[in-house]
Structure 1
Amino acid sequence: MNTSPLPGSVRLPDGTYIRGRGLRHPPPEGPTPGLGLYLGSGRLRRRHQAALPWPHTWIDWPDFLLPRDPHEAIRQIHHLHERARAGAAAEVACGGGVGRTGTVIACLAILSGVAPTDAITWTREHHHPKAVETPWQRRWVFRFPRVVPND
């Protein structure tokens, strides 16, 4: 379990820490992540890639929409949870840190034991009051699998 969370992290119900933030905002002072999952288009990636020297993965996820490859996104979210649960200082971020980032944090909340019907409320209380911005993001959270599906 991560006993020294990154500044700005939230504690999931299973004790796992995850930092959610917006790439358009300066990172909080203090330690840098050991692992990152970043959500955005090629343009966002090109703009911020050089500022992310730690191990990380990008998911092609347009603003206000859903990931272009949902199966890969599910795998990467599960992987992020596993690594953070094992103690990695982990963060998830998109451009603004609200919609896409909130959607992933809600999915991580599900993996940590929150019921899918409660995950958005939990995320809005612990991460950002407007997290999970669109109806399709909400549906995606409700349907997020606790186990990685076989292809």
Structure 2
Amino acid sequence: MPFSAANQPLKRGALAKRFECNIETIRYYENIALLEPPDRTDGGHRVYSPKDQARLGFILRARELGFSVEQLRSLLSLSDSHNYTCGEVLTLTERHLEDVKRKIADLRRLEKTLADVSARCDGGNAPTCPVMDALVDDRPQTSMAD
């Protein structure tokens, strides 16, 4: 196999550079146990094996696709078991897709509301503003004891 960074252990800084992420991102995934603690050199430097590198790539890509940490934990659990079906992965992915669709629908409602409110504002020098008026919450307040 020809030499490449992908088949050589990397220190944390080199790993962050390879994946164009922050060192703190790698540390975070270690702290929440998505990445195993890496091996260390005699000098105490963390070194990430090709397997560690592949796992980080998987994590970063899943996060780019919007999978939550808990969803990612489920995907990694399936992957780590080496005993999963495509159907299991599809079920997790379809649940995530439904979450994404709900968020898009919420954002579209938000966009419409903001467009409607801002369309009522002429941006002039008057001391009243339809946008500010729309932000006033006229609902009755209830106490924590209610």
Q: TM-score range by the shorter chain?
A: under 0.3
Larger fraction in strand: 1
Greater length-normalized contact order (CA 8 Å, ≥ 6 residues apart): 1
Q: Give TM-score scaled by structure 1 length.
A: 0.24
Larger fraction in helix: 2
Q: Give TM-score scaled by structure 2 length.
A: 0.25
